A and B are shown apart, each in its own frame.
Chain A
Amino acid sequence: MYNKNTLGLVFFPAFDWKISPTHPERQERLLYTRDQLLEEGLLEHPAIREYNPLLASWQDIERVHVGAPSLKKWVTEAHRVSVGGAIAAAEAVMRGEVTRAFSLVRPPGHHAMKMVHGIRGFCTVNVEAIMIAYLRRHYGVRRIAIVDTDVHHGDGTQDIFYHDPDTLFISFHQDGRTLYPGTGFMYEYGGPQAVGATVNIPLPPGTGDEGMLKVLQNLVMPMLNDFKPDIVINSAGQDNHFSDPLANMMVTAKGYARLTDILKADIAVLEGGYSVQEALPYVNTGIVLSMAGLDYSQVVEPAFDEDTNRQRPDVTRRIDDIIRKWADQWHRRHEMQVDALLGLGDFWQDRRQIYYDETGISEYRDEKIRLYPDKVGYMSIDSRSDGGPFGSQHVYATFIPWQADDECRRDAYDATLAAKKAGNADRYVVVDPMKDVQEEI
């Protein structure tokens, strides 16, 4: 009757975890989704196999993040289960037990960056990034594409992979001039050794199914086709929905299901989406049906009104415009890459400030990338913060890339030791994800 076990599903609603009682990230968020999935009978459908989440190890998390003052001060067991859900989904796919997997878990992660000084945009650790590091460490997966379909720019994921030419990060989202976190513009297209590996597609408020699917088919799919990833991951935020209280888009549950159907991601991981009653039960049902290869044509929200939910013509024109501009930028990415490295020498440096909205903490970073002519170099972050519950923090962290060879590793350690001699940070840390190492120097 059906292909057996087409979809692996991990469901973890964390009914005992909240940021605060009235926060959008509260116990209730996946309650109605759970009710809908149970009532539809989807968790025991022959085409779907359910998996338990795991409790992710600290080692898994330490491949990606450095905490200030420490990860253990910020990361709760709920975060570890959420990450463990994504890892369980990835395992099910890699072991060939299912064709695809969906990790329907909370709390979310796509605003969490390499350094963790607090909570940003409801996120503490980056669920997909930790899962990807796990896939590279345990399954040797090289080329990975992430398509972030949350309404907010996935700035955490961008931060983590901005200098990795083998990880294509595509995020389409409501224009950062109108929505948190205020980033994700076309000119953020990847670091000097990874030009074109970050693709930000800001969309105007009022974008509906029509515009979103056009971006997908005319821009995202051709990019994936060019990049040729071994694995496609969907950061499956659901807040482009017309009923979402935190954003201004007009996408429907069926639109999300159609997107899922076209994208055919190997692994999807839930991100945001805060219309917990009117959107999430239907969007998740649509995504689950779509990923399991089942008919989703009857997924229609009771609140849907065709007349009030039509994409305006000026919105369509702006979307057409950004598609045109990005198609052009994408074609020029190789020459842009050559230009980016011209005259840079051995290092590229940047200075940034990052705000942790949930905890009112500002992080100040000095970033440094070691550039080699023939390979990916390490990144050092001299990171300071104040205003947090643990007082002023100063951590110097060096991230060795997963592609590193012995020379890159040696240089990374030497640079960190030299920084320690010269500097006055509280901690000096080296992260080597493929060696399962995060150590204090």
Chain B
Amino acid sequence: MLVGLDVGGTFTDAVVVDKGRILKSHKCRTTKPNLMEGIEAALAGVATAIEPTKVTRVTLSTTIVTNALVMNQVDPVDLYVIPGPGMDIRPLLPVTPIVLNGYTDHRGSLAAPLRQRELDQIPGEKQNTRAAVSAKFSVRNPKLEQTLKEELLAAGYETVSAGAELSGSLNFPRRTVSAYFNSAVQGTFEDFSEAVKAALARYGLTAPIYILKADGGSLPLERMKASPVETAFTGPAASVLGMAALRSMPKDMTVALDMGGTTTDISLWENGVPMMARGGAMIRNYPSAVRSFAVSSVGIGGESAVAFDENGKLTVGPDRLGPSLVLGGTVPTLGDALIVLGKANYGDTHMAWQGLANLLQKAPHGYVAGTDKDVADTDNTAIAADDADAGIAAGNAAEGIAKDAVIAFAKDIVAAAVTVITDGIAASVQRENKLPIYVVRDIVEPKIFKPEKLVAVGGTAVTLAPFVSERLALPVQIPQNAPVANAVGAAVARETLMLTVHVDTAKGILVVPELGIHEKQRSVQTAAQAESLALDYLQKAAGDLGLTNAPSGHIISVEDVPIIEGWQSMHRLITVKAQLEPGVSEYVQ
């Protein structure tokens, strides 16, 4: 039995899953600022289905860290960087760092040590209780970072995050941003995890607690205290996993659209697996090394406001100025336009006709409804003639506006919204296809993402997605998802872990940056040996965390480049990445 909790921006959902079936689910409002009230309410809603002794795992997807970051309610952090020669990193960072001398080169050789004089000054520099350290090429040799971390702890810092512990990939600015924000949210996360443990204990739940990460994997709560930044932006991850768990995703190259009230989230899928953001997630506009799904948002949703801008151009979104007119709002929305077109039927529908007719009446000179031919003629038979007449007649300002003109206007509104979405899809696809080209094969046989299908979920999917499908000439699936798909996604999320093994056979060095390993070794000489070593390390690290899928690791990338030392001796530089793959542990009906 699995329990899933999803704390979203608006709703907190709980779900109990057993043997591939949803036993019970409950949806309630998210409570801010004290999220625990909502979590307890959601748990109370499903409590009758929970048999505490049978529950093997409780998994949470939470906005706690995201909110803390977005609201800037984070702890202050002293950031120490060891950049060595190269680009000035300071303009790319969220705070002014303390810069120390020392340098590790691209081969992991120590080119310049830390300076004792600078280390002696640390107590004077110390302003906060939390610190972060990041050194260039620490993924090739974590020694400088580790040494400095020890010095900082000795100088009295409570916690110190180190860049290479959070990411084994080359990118000093991203690792630095990750380390900084990791320390900044540690306090928030610790408070939250204590509250969660207490709440679950009140329901007799003593099963291991897992937290969902942005990459769609989960890890034990205790482990995440070391890397809480990875739990930011899990909303899209939960939604993406929910789609996977409910078997919504085809194997084709698929564009998934999560169409909500304010935004549409776009993700790209292949073989039923969502694609990862290259490099990592953005945290407050700073690129980090936090692995996440590649989800981008465009400002189009069912309640996107419709207006004319100062140039007289019709705009839809990105603003949401309250609910649609039919639900008592004050500004016409995309949803109102879809009602006029007979695609939806809720609320006081004649308000939609009236509102659109009014706005059309005030349209700038030169605007003629219906000149946008991007929306093909829709079937008008569903349009409620009575509503139309009543609505237009009721709007005094709109006297003399013909019903056909309002319909044409509504089509223009939908067309404008669809354009924003298709532009967003095009940008996502373009980003995906800007792959690094390192070998001739990459360009002679390029791997190009070409959308073959659309899958749309969310409140606006049924009404809006068919228009996107028509524009792109791609078939669309709109699965009848349970309203608690995100909580389901969290409940069945697999455990994930990733690590990097870098072998330099010339120097006889082995590096596993995520584990702080940098040691002499001569036995690994080939890529195959490095791969098997990486899987061993992964299994051991996963076993230490008590992960159930520890043996299921696999290799996700191998780079094996022959190198020459002194013109003659042949050696290799091998970099292998291994991971426990994110995904769902079981499908759910």
Q: Which A positions have Cβ atoms within 8 angstroms of B?
A: 1-2, 11-17, 21-22, 26-28, 31-32, 34-36, 38-45, 50, 52-55, 76-78, 81, 84, 277, 281-282, 285, 289, 294-295, 298-302
Q: Which 10 A-B pairs have the closest CB atoms?
A: A302-B111, A41-B173, A38-B170, A16-B439, A300-B85, A35-B106, A39-B170, A28-B563, A40-B87, A32-B106
Which of B228-236, B416-424, B566-574 contacts the other chain? Answer: B566-574
In the assembled complex, the CB of B232 is this many whole angstroms from the nearest CB of chain A, namely: 19
Binary CB contact string for chain B from 82 to 104 against chain A (1 if under 8 A, 0 otherwise): 01111111011000000000010
- Is A31 a contact partner of B573 (Cβ separation < 8 A)? yes
- Is A26 a contact partner of B562 (Cβ separation < 8 A)? yes
- Is A22 a contact partner of B567 (Cβ separation < 8 A)? yes
- Is A77 a contact partner of B437 (Cβ separation < 8 A)? no
Chain B residues lying within 8 Å of A52, measured Cβ to Cβ, are 434-435, 437, 443
Central interface residue in B436, B441, B444, B567, by most chain A CB within 10 Å: B436
Chain B residues lying within 8 Å of A36, measured Cβ to Cβ, are 86, 106
> Which residue of the partner chain B has the closest CB to A43?
B436
Is B397 positioned at the interface, with any CB of A under 8 Å from its CB? no
Task: Give the complex CA separation of A53 and B446 in angstroms.
Answer: 12
Cross-chain pairs A/B with CB under 8 angstroms, 20 sampled = A12-B437, A13-B438, A16-B439, A22-B568, A28-B562, A35-B106, A35-B170, A39-B137, A39-B172, A40-B172, A41-B174, A45-B87, A52-B443, A77-B443, A78-B440, A277-B106, A294-B87, A294-B88, A295-B87, A298-B86
Task: Give the complex CA separation of A50 and B278 in angstroms.
Answer: 14
Task: Give the complex CA separation of A16 and B439 in angstroms.
Answer: 5
In the assembled complex, the CB of A296 is this many whole angstroms from the nearest CB of chain B, namely: 8
- Is B564 a contact partner of A39 (Cβ separation < 8 A)? no
- Is B443 a contact partner of A299 (Cβ separation < 8 A)? no
Using a Cβ cutoff of 8 Å, how many contacts connect chains A and B? 121
- Is B287 a contact partner of A44 (Cβ separation < 8 A)? yes
- Is A17 a contact partner of B440 (Cβ separation < 8 A)? yes
Central interface residue in B87, B111, B287, B443, by most chain A CB within 10 Å: B87
List 4 other contacts, CB 8 Å, given A281-B106, A289-B87. Answer: A38-B171, A45-B92, A277-B107, A298-B86
Given known pairs A22-B564, A28-B564, A53-B437, the reply for A81 and B443 (CB within 8 Å) is yes
Task: Give the complex CA separation of A55 and B573 in angstroms.
Answer: 28
Q: Which residue of B83, B87, B443 contacts A53 across the interface (Cβ within 8 Å)?
A: B443
Chain A residues lying within 8 Å of B287, measured Cβ to Cβ, are 41, 44
B162-210 interface with A by 8 A CB criterion:
170-174
Is B270 positioned at the interface, with any CB of A under 8 Å from its CB? no
Task: Give the complex CA separation of A223 and B269 in angstroms.
Answer: 55
Is B272 positioned at the interface, with any CB of A under 8 Å from its CB? no
Q: Which residue of B83, B105, B435, B563 contacts A302 across the interface (Cβ within 8 Å)?
A: B105
Is B136 positioned at the interface, with any CB of A under 8 Å from its CB? yes
> Which residue of the partner chain A has the closest CB to B433?
A52
- Is A15 a contact partner of B86 (Cβ separation < 8 A)? no
Chain A residues lying within 8 Å of B436, measured Cβ to Cβ, are 11, 43
Task: Give the complex CA separation of A50 and B137 in angstroms.
Answer: 22
Chain A residues lying within 8 Å of B174, measured Cβ to Cβ, are 41
Task: Give the complex CA separation of A26 and B564 in angstroms.
Answer: 9
> Which residue of the partner chain A has the closest CB to B565?
A277
In the assembled complex, the CB of B338 is this many whole angstroms from the nearest CB of chain A, namely: 36
In the assembled complex, the CB of B289 is this many whole angstroms from the nearest CB of chain A, namely: 10
- Is A15 a contact partner of B438 (Cβ separation < 8 A)? yes
Task: Give the complex CA separation of A84 and B443 in angstroms.
Answer: 10
Task: Give the complex CA separation of A236 and B356 in angstroms.
Answer: 61
Given known pairs A26-B562, A77-B440, A300-B85, the reply for A21 and B106 (CB within 8 Å) is no
Task: Give the complex CA separation of A55 and B137 in angstroms.
Answer: 33
